[in-house]
Amino acid sequence: MEENIFFQIDKIKSIGKNVIIGKTVRIRYPELVEIGDNVIIDDFTYISTALKIHSNVHISAGCKIIGGKKAFVEMKEFSTLAPNVVLSAGTDDYLSGIATPLVPMSYKANARIGSIIINKHCIIGAGSVVLPDVVLEEGSGLGALSLAKRSLHEYTLYAGIPARQIKKRNKSEIQFLENKYRNEK
């Protein structure tokens, strides 16, 4: 693996086999990042939070996974972020307090530092935003240009601002294809 110019690969907490990280990926706290096997992180992605990526995960170009050192994001097997997704595990309250990461939390009225959990077989569409303390249950999907402020139910597709339930995904087909993939390896 070639050295990345925006962080030191050897500083990543753990990294699996068959991992591709684009040359313009920026990881602010590599010591807080764990990466499984068969992972691709495309160019122009920015990561500034604790992150655990399981195996068989793809993060498309231009994604932002943010929240600071105390926040946490987890992406489980077979999950995918389409281009320009924002996972914001930390947010500020713009109505009161000082909204900048440069001051202590005591100056930030209602800032939220939390976690985002993206379970197995989840997909988040291009340009979507996920806010702190949201869990995407197994197989859930978030359509392009959507906002997830609340957790999403398993094998259900959501879309809109804020995201609302659209229809069920085909759980049996997804699980069948996963089993076929595993058996062919």
What CATH number was assigned to the domain covering residues 9-184? 2.160.10.10
| Euclidean distance between CA atoms 16 and 131, whole angstroms | 28
| Euclidean distance between CA atoms 88 and 132, whole angstroms | 6
**171 phi and psi angles, rounded to 5 deg:** -60, -45
pTM: 0.94
Is beta strand 156-159 parallel, antiparallel or unpaired with respect to 164-168?
Answer: antiparallel
| pLDDT (tens digit per residue) in 37-90 | 999 999 999 999 999 999 999 999 999 999 999 999 999 999 999 999 999 999
| pLDDT (tens digit per residue) in 135-149 | 999 999 999 999 999
Residue 62 gets the label, from left (phi > 0), alpha (psi -120 to 50) or beta, of left
Q: How confident is the model at residue 108 (pLDDT cuts 50, 70, 90)?
A: confident
**One-letter amino acid of 20:** I
pLDDT (0 to 100) of residue 109: 76
Per-domain boundaries in the chain: 9-184
Residue 3 has pLDDT above 80, yes or no: no
